[in-house]
Structures are given as structure tokens and as C-alpha cells.
Amino acid sequence: MSEHEAGRVLLDPTGERRKPIRERLARPARLEGLTVGLLDIAKARGDIFLDRLAELLAERGAVVKRYRKPTFTKPAPIDVRQQIAQECGAVVEALAD
């Protein structure tokens, strides 16, 4: 049965025909003095993980900035992503359940 036979049409909201290829960025040489953004995606217990990670990063000399998405169901708002890009040399996005 095709996608049109049952009177239904299947749409892909991303509109991507193929996966984008993205090269990994090089890891920072050191954490000391680096501003690291921690993005809480608003899932349960993600903040607990980020609290501990913030402690460990600070012990190694990193400057930690915290950010939070309004909801885990959508991408971070563009202004939050731009702020992270401008303020941070690295970012960690927390996933937890």
C-alpha cells in the first residue's frame, strides 16, 4: 500500500532528503580558563547531572555558564543558541530521565 492509497499522506517535517555531514570540531586543548556552557534540555534530573558536571569543570579551572531550554520537545530557541555560541568555547547538552 502506498502512502496515498489509504487516503493519508506521510510528510517529513524536516524536509531533508539526506543526512547532513558535519565534521566534529577539535576538542579544546585544556579546560582552564575556557567558558563551558551547560544546556539543560528540561528533562527530569538533567539539572542534577549538570550540577555535578559544573562542580567538576570548575575544579579544573573552567568558567561555567548555565542555560535551559523551555521544553525538551523543541529545539533550543535561536536566541539561546546564539547566546551560547557567543559566550562559550564549548557546550555540554544534558540528557537524562
Which domain does 77 fall in, by range?
35-94
- Kindly provide the b/e burial profile for residues 2-34, where b requires at least 16 CB atoms within 10 angstroms of the residue's own CB: eeeeeeeeeeeeeeeeeeeeeeeeeeeeebeeb
**Pick from 62, 80, 60, 57: which is nearest to 70 by CA?**
80
* pLDDT above 80: residue 49: yes
Does some domain include residue 60? Answer: yes
User: Residue 40 domain-assigned?
Assistant: yes
Examine the pLDDT at 11 and tell me if it is beyond 70.
no
Report if residue 30 sits inside a domain.
Answer: no
pTM > 0.75: yes or no: no
Average pLDDT over residues 34-48: 91
Q: Is the pLDDT of residue 8 over 50?
A: yes
What is the total count of domains within the chain? 1
